């Protein structure tokens, strides 16, 4: 079962857990692992930056 990432239009094969989730909730939006790690890095950097500003 292949899916297309909504952010980069890259076709990817979801893992078994993601496949079950997609079968149960087809309306959920799935993104590829590459986009997921990219977004996670940006969010963590933003959280770290907010933490340094709050300590001032």
- Three-state SS for 13? coil
- At residue 55, the pLDDT reads 67
Q: What residues does each domain of the chain span?
A: 3-54
Phi, psi of 54 (to 5 degrees): -75, -20
Which residues sit opposite 11 in a β-bridge? 4
- Three-state SS for 11? strand
Nearest partner of 14 among 28, 41, 32, judged by Cα: 32
Within 8 A by CB and 6+ apart from 6, the residues are 29, 30, 31
pLDDT per position as a tens digit, 3-55: 888 899 999 998 898 889 888 988 878 888 899 999 999 999 999 988 887 76
- At residue 22, the pLDDT reads 85
- Confidence class for position 56, pLDDT limits 50, 70, 90: low
pTM for this entry: 0.69
- At residue 25, the pLDDT reads 87
């Amino acid at each position: 079962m292949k899916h297309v990432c909504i952010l980069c239009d890259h076709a990817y094969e979801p893992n078994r857990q993601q496949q079950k989730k997609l079968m149960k909730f087809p309306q959920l939006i799935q993104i590829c692992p590459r986009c997921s790690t990219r977004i996670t890095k940006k969010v963590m950097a933003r959280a770290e930056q907010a933490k340094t500003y709050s300590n001032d």
